[in-house]
Amino acid sequence: MHRLQSYLAGQWQTGQGDGTPLIDPSSGATLALAGALGLSRAAALEHARRVGGPALRAMTLRQRGAALKALSAAIHAQREPLIDLGVANAGNTRGDAKFDIDGATGTLAAYAALAAELPERGFLSDGPGQALGRSPRFWGQHVWVPRHGVAVHVNAFNFPAWGLCEKMACALLAGVPVLEKPGTPTALMAERIAHIIVDSGALPPGAFSFLCGEAGDLLDHLGPQDTVAFTGSSATAHVFRAHAAFARRGARLNVEADSLNAVVAGPDVASGSATFDLLVRDTAREVTQKAGQKCTATRRVCVPAALLPELAEALSAEIGNVKVGDPREDGVRMGPLTNPAQLQSVQEGIRRLAGAARVVRGGPEALRPRGCFVAATLLAAADAAAPVFHAEEVFGPVATLLPFDGSPATAARLVALGEGGLVASVYSDDKDFSIATALELAPWSGRLYLASERMAEHGTGAGTVLPQMVHGGPGRAGGGEELGGLRGLSLYMQRTAIQGFKSVVEGAFGAPAPASATAG
């Protein structure tokens, strides 16, 4: 049986013991084993700090950006075999796998493009400098410098490519070596990407490490200059938060966790209108893409009570057009869940929701005797505020329609019952409703997607995370923040205030004048 490898301390290594079987969720066949028993996490971290950190810090921001560009191209060149791995090991349709892989290479390329505009040095100035006393001689300037630790990236199983590359792009551009730990169930694609990265030679020695399998004692070896960016469930996030690495030793932790992402339909949206059709199309996609195993997938749809019957009918029909099955079969647009544990958890979740709602389409039954197939499921609540709709994320193709009175305040109250989310959407052509709802929702949401007829053909849908905009959310969503252009680098850098004689401080640490201003 093929055993996946880890790349630690500059060497490909294989763990001892049996390892975890990685399966094809369409057939149940075992594809490979992943395990990292007996591999030294401490030595890997030390190598990254001692070798990778100094090498990256010796590069300018633009040079690091050029490395990201080379990585993007190297991964893109292997797109077809990577898609095959997503189909086999994650139950992805080809479209789902492309979404993951193109998200990965697109984010690397976006950060490479951003870096091309940055100064030829290794740190960033933070805003303009300023006089600190009555004399302009005493000057202050904030700077961002790379931390001297390792960026440890612990990822969820659902985006083996994108999750790894979006975190890596920010850390490497900041000048910090990475140790990537993918979610084990879908590690086949992540391990292939790790080989591509190492083989590309784009990064200096020590800048990239890859731990394939269980985390083991990884966190025990982290210190005050290290950063962990974690993506996964709230339950695992609790374990991380309580760990001494963060609670006592001062390592930095960023958490991206669960989210019951909500859609709000405005009272102006009429059945058959362009905005209604957009709402139906977008919601069906955000429920079924990647079989709903997307952190940004739509879970709750707040709809004015009068519109609920028509929206239920239209959404049910749209979702019914999505053929479910083995992604290798013709016409299939939704594959299986990733493994039997996920299937069981989603079935239990649907049963819980169905205890308080009418099942409009789908249900908890497994669709096939073999494999991890469940129907895309739409429910309609009578009591929109019932806790079951807001308390627990069902990580599959499942959404509930929640009737409300059409006011921004009620919509916000319902959305807030989810205790903080990654993204919420508003569908309305009434500008005043959209703005009022956005302001109510903003404290509970990392991102807001305001959809209307006028941008229907131009938007990506709420489920697509863009490198220019921040990703993360308050409360249940973890309280973390990633991406957002240069904002994403700050997790891996120290902001330091530098005070002193103006010509020294401004000359060495101030933002260099743009090329056009110095050109003549």
What residues from 301 to 320 belong to the interface with ligand NAP (CB under 6 A)?
Answer: none
Tell me the three state secondary structure of residue 15: coil
Told to judge if 212 belongs to the known catalytic residues of this protein, a careful annotator would answer: no
| 345 binds ligand NAP per the rule CB under 6 A | no
Using CB atoms within 10 Å of the CB of residue 518, give its burial: 0 to 12 exposed, 13 to 18 middle, 19+ buried.
exposed
Catalytic residue among 256, 286, 440, 506: 256
Q: Cα Rg for the chain, rounded, in angstroms?
A: 24
What residues from 369 to 428 belong to the interface with ligand NAP (CB under 6 A)?
Answer: 393, 395, 422
Out of 107, 209, 227, 231, point to the residue binding ligand NAP (CB under 6 A). 231
Per the CB < 8 A criterion, the answer to whether 309 and 378 are in contact is no
Told to judge if 295 belongs to the known catalytic residues of this protein, a careful annotator would answer: yes
Question: Least distance from C-beta 216 to ligand NAP, angstroms?
Answer: 8
d(CA 500, CA 519): 29
What residues from 469 to 488 belong to the interface with ligand NAP (CB under 6 A)?
Answer: 477-478
Angle at 182 between CA 179 and CA 185, to 5 degrees: 160
DSSP-assigned letter for residue 119: -
Question: Least distance from C-beta 83 to ligand NAP, angstroms?
Answer: 20
Q: Which stretch binds ligand NAP (CB under 6 A): 2-10, 59-67, 180-188, 509-517?
A: 180-188
| 239 binds ligand NAP per the rule CB under 6 A | yes
Residue nearest to ligand NAP (CB): 232
Q: Which stretch binds ligand NAP (CB under 6 A): 23-31, 80-88, 101-109, 250-258?
A: 250-258
Instruction: Name the token pair of 285.
Output: 């996609």
d(CA 295, CA 371): 23
Catalytic residue among 165, 170, 212, 295: 295
d(CA 342, CA 348): 10
Residue 461's identity, in one-letter code, is G
| 260 binds ligand NAP per the rule CB under 6 A | no
Q: Which stretch binds ligand NAP (CB under 6 A): 24-32, 233-241, 244-252, 270-278?
A: 233-241
Task: Pick the closer one to ligand NAP by CB: 14 or 233.
Answer: 233
| 116 binds ligand NAP per the rule CB under 6 A | no
| 180 binds ligand NAP per the rule CB under 6 A | no
Per the CB < 8 A criterion, the answer to whether 188 and 2 are in contact is no
What residues from 35 to 54 belong to the interface with ligand NAP (CB under 6 A)?
Answer: none
CA distances from 281 to 152, 301, 318 (A): 38, 13, 7
Contacts for 481-487: CB closer than 8 Å, 24+ residues apart = 481/254, 481/446, 482/166, 482/167, 482/170, 482/229, 482/254, 482/256, 483/107, 483/166, 483/170, 485/114, 486/114, 486/124
Out of 215, 386, 436, 469, point to the residue binding ligand NAP (CB under 6 A). 215
Contacting positions for ligand NAP (CB under 6 A)? 154-159, 181, 183-184, 214-215, 231-233, 236, 239, 256-259, 295, 393, 395, 422, 477-478
